[in-house]
Amino acid sequence: MNALDIIAENKIVAIVRLDDLSVAKELSAALIDGGIRAIEFTLTNPAAIDTIAAIKELVDPGVAIGAGSVISAEQVRAVAAAGAQFVVSPVYKRDVVAACHKHQLPAMPGAFTPTEILQAWEQGAAVVKVFPANHLGRRYIKDVLAPLPQLRLMPTGGVTAENMREFLENGAFALGVGSSLINNEAVADRDWKRLRDNARRCVKQIT
């Protein structure tokens, strides 16, 4: 199963944006044990590329490991070499999408308005990350899809266990879930049970 199929089936992409990735192995294990099947490590941490390579070697083929906050073609090449299976960006950049195509990676660029979303889609985005979704609301997804039903949209920013079902009911293809799933306090305390329980609660909302 490829990364896009894994995301389509499981709906949640866990966004790992941490200053300290030394606990990435334990964190990933907790998320996976909680039912998460797609994990994104953001390049806001310089150690993310090495982390992707390390975690990719540990997980089974049913788990997709990707890179987030990718904003250059050079970064696409680096994460492809590390074994990333999908690429997420906060914005749409033509050269980033083109580089994803070159390396046969699903591109998931960020966009906000219907015009931006459609431009990204027409340039070959596999999924468009609607960001920041917390400023738009759940019905925004339905409103955009009404005239553009061919789109695959992944709202990100403000997605929680409490609202994710509503996002999906309004047509979201998948959901990018960050701080509401990966609680910084729990990570600092090495409370992997809490993170696993967070993951299970989120997964329960979509099953």
HEC readout, 128-182: EEECCHHHCCCHHHHHHHCCCCCCCEEEECCCCCCCHHHHHHCCCCCEEECCCCC
Query: 44: which 2 tokens?
Result: 């806001």
Share of the chain above pLDDT 70, in %: 100
- Tell me the mean pLDDT in the region 2-26: 97
- From the list 56, 74, 122, 129, the catalytic residue is 129
Q: Kind of pairing, strands 128-130 and 110-111?
A: parallel
List of domains in the chain: 3-205 (3.20.20.70)
- Tell me the mean pLDDT in the region 95-102: 98
Active site residue 40: yes
Q: Dump pLDDT digits (tens) for 70-94.
A: 999 999 999 999 999 999 999 999 9
- From the list 9, 40, 56, 57, the catalytic residue is 40
Query: 12: which 2 tokens?
Result: 């949640």
Who contacts 165 (Cβ-Cβ below 8 Å, separation ≥6)? 205, 206
Closest CA to 178 of 14, 7, 12: 14
Question: What pLDDT score was predicted for residue 16?
Answer: 98
Contact 13, 88 (CB under 8 A): yes
Q: Dump pLDDT digits (tens) for 135-184.
A: 888 899 999 999 999 999 999 999 999 999 999 999 999 999 999 999 99
Active site residue 162: no
CA 11 – CA 74 distance, rounded (Å): 28
Contact 109, 96 (CB under 8 A): yes
Please say if the pLDDT value at position 207 is more than 90.
no
